[in-house]
Structure 1
Amino acid sequence: MATKPMQQQPVPTAPRAFPNGSQYSAALQNTALCFRHPDLKGAAPTLDRIGLPRPISGNFASVFSVTSTSGRRYAVKCFTRQVKDQETRYHEISKHLSTMPVASLSQPWKMGFDYLPEGILVEGQWYPLLKMEWVEGISLSRWLEANHRSRGTVAGLADHFAALTVDLHRAGMAHGDLQHGNLLVAPDSTLRLVDYDGLYVPSLAGLPGTEMGHRNYQSPMRGADDFGPAMDRFSSWVIYLSLVALAADPGLWAQLHEPDSEYLILAEDDFKDPAGSSRFPALLRHTDPSVRNLADLVRTLAAQPLHVLPDLDTLLARTSSAQQPTTAHTGTRPGTSSAPSARPRWMDGHLPAESTTSTAQEAFAGDGYRCRRSADVLLAMLMPLGLLLPWILAAVGLLGLGPEIDLLAGTAGLAAAGAVTGRRTRRESRALRNEQRSLNQLLALAENPAASYARLDHERTRHEQAENTRLQRLTDQQRELTHQLNTSHARIESDKNAAVAKLDRELAGLALQRQQAIERALVPLQLSYIEQQLRRCAISSAQLPGIGPKTIRDLATRGIRTAADFTGIRIVSSNAFANSSNALLLTANGSALKITGVGPQKASTLDGWRRHCEASAKASCRIVLPFDQQNRINGDFAFKEQVLKSRRQVLEAEAQKKRQGEAERVASDRTRLADESQQALGAARAQQLEFDRRVAEIRSAAADLGLLTAARDTLRLRGKALSSGRYLRFLYLGR
């Protein structure tokens, strides 16, 4: 049982809390409790691999398959959201469908259903459901995947679909969501129409629609107000075009349909932008005029409001009427006379054409030979010589004549040979031989039609196998091109993403680099400030423990008066054996001073004091970078950022160019394959026509076997009338 795909576009309605598919699935584990209807109570649901009732989820419903205790199978549709006037809609739809007996329909496409307001109990609350007949069939797209190579079968399905639209149109109905998922193909290749949620019937006029239909089958012009008898017009043409095109050229399935896609051979982007479509060109330049004309029509209809579009059945009826012959059938072929012929019409082209001139009629009228020639008169004179030759030779031999005998013998031989040749060269004899040859060929064909059919069937089977192999090869080639395109696009995208990620890392690092540049630019200013603060820190004013006036004088003597005069200390060993050490004060110029009376302890006191002064100076530093200098740094990094962003745009443009190049290459290969396929298709059609002609010829010959037999007997009688004896009589008597 098919439900509508998730991609549909419902018209928004007021939300209401309804169970979801999982909650319904849990409730269906106990059908004796959750159902009231006697057909459903205690029914066995179809389970998934983990043993739970398996839902088929749609836009606003979940469908479950259940088998009643009596063994009958139903589809139970449980709603996951409230639809305004739902019960009223289903009541009107059911009432309208009940007025359409199955016998009045082109095929049993309509499905019976019951709307149950309190159909299922979920978590202590009753919710409505739809109990429907279970449909044995597969979706249109799955059916085409398996059967698109069978032209006749697809053409038959196109007729079934057209007939279904006629049924809907005559009943003043519209489905609202004609698409591959809602058209199921039964085992007998007739259609079943399912999912009546958005169905329009005349009694619902004035109400708003509940959905917008599948996006790959709807006109870009369809709006929320298009709820009426015209809302199926565009989708009908889309589906009919798809079926007619595939019946004409099965290779279009591999060329235009992506595996597992939610469309047949045209999709939403083709309708929104026909000029930029990648699929329309293959249809618009197809060798089959019906495909070209339908594709051009659908392209035109995509830009028109639904209410002005023609109904499928109306336009097809008009086209069919236009194709009827303008003259009445007379029972004779064009260009032939209705007068009775001496032989059946099927012999035309096999036996010599009947003459239309009075001379030919006189020459071939009746049986036997007519109109003696000069050669015939000469032969008549020479023939007696041939008969008397033995006697003449005997008499001449007695006279002893030699050359004369040879001359007489030669003349007699020529007379005998001329008699035979003259008879064979007569037009009557030639015509008889030609007709006998053609008749023998036709008799061989007619007398053994079974063998002829067997040979023809063998040739047809080999042709169909070769055609199926070609179509499968075309499918494989088209899908290989799709795989190549996807692979190349993925590689291009991966390379681009790697390069972009590197640029993004560089862009992200610019902020840190900018901060570091500002900090580096601040260092000289900060050091100058700190140095000024350290010069204000005099050792003489510090009152350091152990640092008396004498030490202060010794330090001053060596130039160490403030915290800025030295940068640190170094403790060095003076005597390894005595385990003693000295302290050195380090200056900014890199020298190390040994101050008298300043040992490691006093040096450490001085270094700790200097560090304290430095820390205080740093803490009090509020210096900022001058505006011009900061602006220069910001400008430098803004330029670097712009360069990286430009490189990013270049990468995007290069990737797009590569993708476009790959797409054009694949499109070119697709076009080449399509052209080759159409050439092969034309040859296949010609071969099929030849098969049909031969079948008709065998049937006609077999059916007219009696006429052939009569013609053979007639030719035998004519052969007797043209025998050697009749020829001799004709030579001497002229008749």
Structure 2
Amino acid sequence: MQYPLISEYLAAIRDAHDNLEELSHLVPVLDNYGEPYRSSGAFAVVFKMKDEQTGKCYALKCFTEEQEGRAEAYRQIAEELEFVDSTYITYVKYLEKELFVDSNCEDEEFPVLLMDWIEGETMETYIADHYMDNHAMSMLCYRFCKMAAWLRSQPFAHGDIKPDNIMVRSDGTLTLVDYDGMFVPAMKGQKSPTIGTKDFSHPLRTINDFDETIDDFALASIALSLKAISLNPSLLNEYGASDRLLFSAADYLDLSKSKTMTALQDLLADEGTRTLLSMFLLASAKKNLSMCSFRLFSVEKPKEEEVWSTEVTEEDLKNAVEDEFGVKYSRDWKRLLRAPYRLRGEYSIREGVKVIGDSAFQACNSLASINIPNSVTTIG
């Protein structure tokens, strides 16, 4: 089946009342240029629509490419999700021959997918804006892990877990979007319509992998990356990219040669990091996490942001960890406690540090300069 161009869909949505069948009560929400508000991806364009009687907004997804079995798949997905009461999942309804489009295609009426409109931003955008904020990233990691634990306890799977398919609402809650690759129990024995996005999928995943475990590897990879970034934001600058987090498809092929894996060794004093790293390695070896409990995603909830003390106690120094220059930090790498007197030349404090303790650089007479990251909020 041939599908219209985005420009042809746009013309049809301008006159939605005349061109929609069952959904003729919806009107397009306009952008700053007076055009229907929309966003487009590789295989579809999504319009923001509004029911003027109730004021509720919806996302109307119009397809630009054929996907075999789409109608039956979405019928099964809608049946599975109908009674799922969770903010992690949104309402979906597939309507065949719903939208009339004047186009060069042989057909005149085309299917649409109706979903609740999620106010917020993608997790990809949220991370780009907040990755230097340790508390914000710790909360994001905590909320993602709660969602991961919930999803692993369900009989269905999303199929393409990645930051661009997760919405972050204004209150911080997360919602999964884009269900084109979803697995539900009624599909058991079928082939997967996707193998996910390469920088978040197991390197050996094929279309034959299609069950409730297909999200496990992506969940483990993203959770570990979020945890690491919350502890050391500079990792995203050094190992990340605009369309992925810390790991790339090349890393997955041989973790023993991954520079990201090497960098994570510095964070293993953190218990949550150790747990998530263990799950990631298990998912890498087995392609899924069926051998472990979903409760392992239950990382500790971050404490509210606190006023950081600059006092350095003997107990602090006793439990400290050191960097390669012998500078002592708290075990969470948030407080710089003490630098050795032999430190000389130029020294750069680790990204993510919040506090420089009292007398931290006392007697460092050969130290010429100190580079202080933006994360530092308090200096003793």
TM-score normalized by the length of structure 2: 0.73
- What amino acid is the match of 1:677? R
User: Secondary structure of 1:17's partner?
Assistant: coil
Distance 1:224 1:457 in 2: 51
Task: Provide the residue aligned with 2:280 in structure 1.
Answer: 298
CA distance 1:281–1:195, shift in 2 (3 Å): same
Contact 2:124 / 2:164 at 8 angstroms: preserved in 1?
yes
Distance 1:117 1:136 in 2: 26
Show CA shifts across 1:282-332 (max 9, x none).
113335344356446535643x34256645725447x99xxxxxxxxxxxx
Show CA shifts across 1:341-364 (max 9, x none).
xxxxxxxxxxxxxxxxxxxxxxxx
Matched, 1:150 2:116: no
Show CA shifts across 1:640-687 (max 9, x none).
xxxxxxxxxxxxxxxxxxxxxxxxxxxxxxxx99x8417957968xx9
Deviation of residue 154 (structure 1)? Answer: 2.5
Q: 89, 92, 100: which is aligned to 1:110?
A: 89
- What amino acid is the match of 2:9? Y
User: Secondary structure of 1:279's partner?
Assistant: helix
Task: Provide the residue aligned with 2:50 in structure 1.
Answer: 67
Distance 1:457 1:155 in 2: 17
Contact 2:46 / 2:61 at 8 angstroms: preserved in 1?
yes
- What amino acid is the match of 1:78? C
Task: Provide the residue aligned with 2:371 in structure 1.
Answer: none
Unaligned runs of 5+ in 2: 301-305, 311-345, 361-380
Contact 2:216 / 2:283 at 8 angstroms: preserved in 1?
no
Task: Provide the residue aligned with 1:89 in structure 2.
Answer: 73
- What amino acid is the match of 1:122? V
Contact 1:139 / 1:185 at 8 angstroms: preserved in 2?
yes
Contact 1:148 / 1:154 at 8 angstroms: preserved in 2?
yes
Distance 1:679 1:316 in 2: 23
CA distance 1:99–1:32, shift in 2 (3 Å): closer
User: Secondary structure of 1:240's partner?
Assistant: helix
Matched, 1:79 2:63: yes
Task: Provide the residue aligned with 2:227 in structure 1.
Answer: 244
- What amino acid is the match of 2:147? L
User: Secondary structure of 1:65's partner?
Assistant: strand
Deviation of residue 126 (structure 1)? Answer: 0.8
Greater Rg, structure 1 or structure 2? 1
Distance 2:169 2:182 in 1: 21
Task: Provide the residue aligned with 2:350 in structure 1.
Answer: 677
Deviation of residue 98 (structure 1)? Answer: 2.0
Distance 2:351 2:17 in 1: 59
Task: Provide the residue aligned with 1:27 in structure 2.
Answer: 12
Contact 1:238 / 1:298 at 8 angstroms: preserved in 2?
yes
Task: Provide the residue aligned with 2:253 in structure 1.
Answer: 272
Distance 1:125 1:157 in 2: 44
Contact 1:287 / 1:678 at 8 angstroms: preserved in 2?
no
Contact 1:154 / 1:243 at 8 angstroms: preserved in 2?
yes
Contact 1:249 / 1:681 at 8 angstroms: preserved in 2?
no
User: Secondary structure of 2:80's partner?
Assistant: helix
* 1:254-653 matches, cutoff 5 A: 254-258=237-241, 261-286=242-267, 288-290=269-271, 291=273, 294-295=276-277, 298-299=280-281, 301-302=283-284, 304-307=285-288, 310=291, 313-316=294-297, 457=307
CA distance 1:270–1:299, shift in 2 (3 Å): farther
- What amino acid is the match of 2:152? H
User: Secondary structure of 1:181's partner?
Assistant: helix
Distance 1:679 1:158 in 2: 16
In the alignment of these two chains, the number of paired residues is 312
Contact 1:73 / 1:133 at 8 angstroms: preserved in 2?
yes
Distance 1:196 1:160 in 2: 20
Q: 115, 134, 137: which is aligned to 2:117?
A: 134
Distance 2:159 2:246 in 1: 20
Contact 1:119 / 1:129 at 8 angstroms: preserved in 2?
yes
Task: Provide the residue aligned with 1:177 in structure 2.
Answer: 160
User: Secondary structure of 1:236's partner?
Assistant: helix
CA-based RMSD of the aligned residues comes to 3.1
Task: Provide the residue aligned with 2:365 in structure 1.
Answer: none
Deviation of residue 190 (structure 1)? Answer: 1.1
Distance 1:284 1:264 in 2: 17
Show CA shifts across 1:96-119 (max 9, x none).
1123234xxxxx111012211122
Hey, which of these two has a bigger chunk of helix by percent? 1
- What amino acid is the match of 1:121? F
Distance 1:151 1:272 in 2: 30
User: Secondary structure of 2:259's partner?
Assistant: coil
Deviation of residue 89 (structure 1)? Answer: 1.5
Contact 1:237 / 1:312 at 8 angstroms: preserved in 2?
no
Matched, 1:17 2:2: yes
Show CA shifts across 1:332-390 (max 9, x none).
xxxxxxxxxxxxxxxxxxxxxxxxxxxxxxxxxxxxxxxxxxxxxxxxxxxxxxxxxxx
Task: Provide the residue aligned with 2:85 in structure 1.
Answer: 101
User: Secondary structure of 1:130's partner?
Assistant: strand
Deviation of residue 138 (structure 1)? Answer: 0.9
Unaligned runs of 5+ in 1: 1-15, 103-107, 321-455, 461-671, 688-735
Matched, 1:216 2:186: no
* 1:120-131 matches, cutoff 5 A: 120-123=99-102, 125-131=108-114
CA distance 1:170–1:91, shift in 2 (3 Å): same
Distance 1:48 1:20 in 2: 22
Contact 2:146 / 2:297 at 8 angstroms: preserved in 1?
no
Q: 133, 151, 159: which is aligned to 1:168?
A: 151
